[in-house]
Structure formats: C-alpha cells, structure tokens
Amino acid sequence: MKNGTRFQKLKREQREALLTWLIQDLSAYQIRTLATSFNPPFRVTQQQIYYYRSDLGLNLEELETKIVAKARSAGFVIRGLARLSKVKKLVRN
C-alpha cells in the first residue's frame, strides 16, 4: 500500500501478462490499454508498474531463462534478449 492507496490484487494470468508487457518495454499507457482489453479486463496503476519495475527488482535471471525458452520455440531469441536488456536498464535506474 502506497500513499493510502490499495492496489488491485492481480490474478496469476494478469500478473504474467503485466510482466510480459514490462519485458517488452511497453510504456505505462500501452500497458494500461492492454490491461483494459485483457480477458477479464483489469486496471493497472502507475504505482503498480513502478512497483514491478523497481521495488520488486524483478528476478532478471529467471525472466531471462523463461524468455529464452519461449523465444527459441518461436524463433525470436534476439528480439527477446534485446527487450530483456532494456528491462535490466530500467531496473538499474
């Protein structure tokens, strides 16, 4: 809870989608737009996005392993690793 505001608790599928969008280096606006079109739709605040990007610290090695595994099956290893590099830079800042 930050500034007395309670975040909506995300379901597992919603959290996975949010992390995927963060890895893709989407803007907060793009993430909120995608969340509203998700099934079922959900709301993501700027504070939640900040929390997942920085406060949580995102276990980057674990995410990298998952991205590479998924990317290999889809043939997008280079693109996935480039996105991970951007996420690492965001987390470090």
* pLDDT for the residue numbered 1: 43
* pLDDT for the residue numbered 41: 92
Q: Is residue 48 part of a domain?
A: yes
Per the structure, the complete domain to which residue 47 belongs is given by 12-92
Q: Is residue 66 part of a domain?
A: yes
Instruction: Count up the domains in the chain and report the number.
Output: 1
Task: Please report, to the nearest 10 degrees, the dihedral formed by the alpha carbons of residues 91, 77, 65, 56 taken in order.
Answer: 20
* pLDDT for the residue numbered 17: 87
How do residues 38-74 score in pLDDT, each as one tens digit? 999 999 998 888 888 776 665 656 776 776 777 676 6
4 is written with which tokens?
């007395």
